[in-house]
Structure 1
Amino acid sequence: MSENPVAGRVVLIAGATSASGLAAARALAEAGARVVAVGRDEDRLAELAQAVPGIRVEVADLTDEAAVHALHDRVGAVDGVLHLVGGWRGGGGLAGQSEADYRFLELSFTALRVVSREFDADLRAAGRARLAIVSSTAVDKPLAGGANYAAVKAASEAWTRAVAQGFAKAARDAGAPLTAAATVFRVKSLEGLEAELAARFTALWAEDAASVNGTIIPL
């Protein structure tokens, strides 16, 4: 295995215009990855590109299949995806869980489904590929005031584990070793953990795929 398994890898950061996106872009770029930072806000992406020279930024609506397909055409095959599309709305107990808030939160799950489907074949074909999402401890301990949020995170975890099972099945069917892995990072809050998330995601490439595929990693 290469001393630096991240060097030269094309890694897409979905929802990159956050503190976590900045930390991840910086860590991956410093490790030698070819970073593609994707978001909807052109101005914030420009700021990110200035903060981390050498990365590529792309404006795209990751909930739109046609837009993500066009993004794929522009950037080509990828070796990694870090899904940071998210947000928080909640409070007010169960009665306060509005449909509007749920639909807003659901966008992150929609983006995960669209992006992972579009780039699935790339990740399976790559010599070493990693996909990761950021989930929440609320999945195990949901509160009435955060029911919408916990439900979306639980669905996202289930989808990611399904991606992991697809990676494993494809390898078994081909009689080949598993080289792709899908992982869930769980946090109570990302505030203050941005650098740790970036480092742990980057470090996934140094781990054996079978040891991290389908796993939940607490931060």
Structure 2
Amino acid sequence: MNARSALLPLNVVVAGSTSAAGRAVVEALVGIGARVAAVDLDPAGVESLAETHEEVVPYVCNLADLSAVGNLADSIRADLGPVDGLIHLVGGWRGGDGIRGQKDEDWEVLHTSVLTTLRNTSRTFYPDLEASPSGRMAIVSAVAASQPTASGAAYAAIKAASEAWVLGMADGFRRAQSGHKDEPKEQTSAAAIFVVKALVDETMRTEAPHRAFPGYTDVSELADHVSALFSAPASELNGTRQHLV
């Protein structure tokens, strides 16, 4: 796959685009001139994003199905061209009563919704990201990944595994773009992790006006950091864990 010209508009896939965080990220990316492939299981939600922003193209896909993700990638490439960015915002929370209260069904939900969707999308779009002059991949992780509790052990383990996967991608970008010792190359692609305690949005504040949400990260702040990925040097971003707490 040939690298795209840096002068062309960015094509960014936002997986999990209809959440409050997803909508904020989509808006921020449109704000920097990107074309966004808004992906979700919610047809009405992605259609709403496309109606709100001319630069957004809606796609409905079960990201836990690798073959479906392959078809999605074919459609996005046909509609927009090669992909420059993948922002993975698919997630969920399941907890239990201590270690013995960690249920198998909760583990399966977390494994499928968080880790499987990450693996499927990142493997599928990896060639595009590696070839792009501005390839960027990012996930939102949690403080719990490195500070797990017994009640949230399954969630923390899945988040830690997701971080390890992204760091593996970062190593792949680094190795592919390092060049030879005598002919070093500029790094153009990066994989990064945003670490939060939890996310908060205006709807949550309205529904709980007396709650302070200490340590929470507003979705608008996350969105600003996501859009800033594409203007920062890849060599400085690649493999980083950026704490937004």
Change (3 A) 1:92 1:51: farther
Select the structure of larger CA radius of gyration.
2
| SS of aligned partner of 1:63 | coil
Query: 1:24 — aligned with what?
Result: 25
1:86 aligns with 2:91: yes
Query: 1:184 — aligned with what?
Result: 193
1:208 aligns with 2:236: no
1:44 aligns with 2:19: no
| SS of aligned partner of 1:56 | strand
| SS of aligned partner of 2:97 | coil
Q: CA deviation at 1:200?
A: 0.4
Q: CA deviation at 1:48?
A: 2.5
Of residues 135, 140, 143 in structure 2, which corresponds to 1:129?
135
In 1: Cα distance, 2:142 partner to 2:32 partner: 27
Of residues 97, 100, 108 in structure 1, which corresponds to 2:105?
100
Structure 1 counterpart of 2:107, one-letter code:
Y
Contact 2:73 2:124 in 1 (8 A): yes
In 1: Cα distance, 2:234 partner to 2:17 partner: 25
Unaligned stretches of 5+ residues in structure 2: 1-5, 202-217
Structure 2 counterpart of 1:58, one-letter code:
Y
Q: Give the root-mean-square deviation of aligned CA atoms.
A: 1.5
Query: 1:167 — aligned with what?
Result: 173
Contact 1:6 1:32 in 2 (8 A): no
Q: CA deviation at 1:140?
A: 1.4
Unaligned stretches of 5+ residues in structure 1: none
Contact 2:34 2:55 in 1 (8 A): no
Q: CA deviation at 1:50?
A: 3.0
Q: CA deviation at 1:47?
A: 2.4
1:144 aligns with 2:150: yes
Give the aligned length.
Answer: 215
Q: CA deviation at 1:49?
A: 2.4
Structure ranking higher in helix proportion: 1
Q: CA deviation at 1:196?
A: 0.7
In 1: Cα distance, 2:196 partner to 2:125 partner: 25
Q: CA deviation at 1:46?
A: 1.9
Question: Quick one: percent identity of the two aligned structures?
Answer: 43
In 2: Cα distance, 1:120 partner to 1:142 partner: 30
Contact 2:96 2:103 in 1 (8 A): no
1:167-206 CA distance string (max 9 Å, x none): 0000124642110000000000011411111110110111
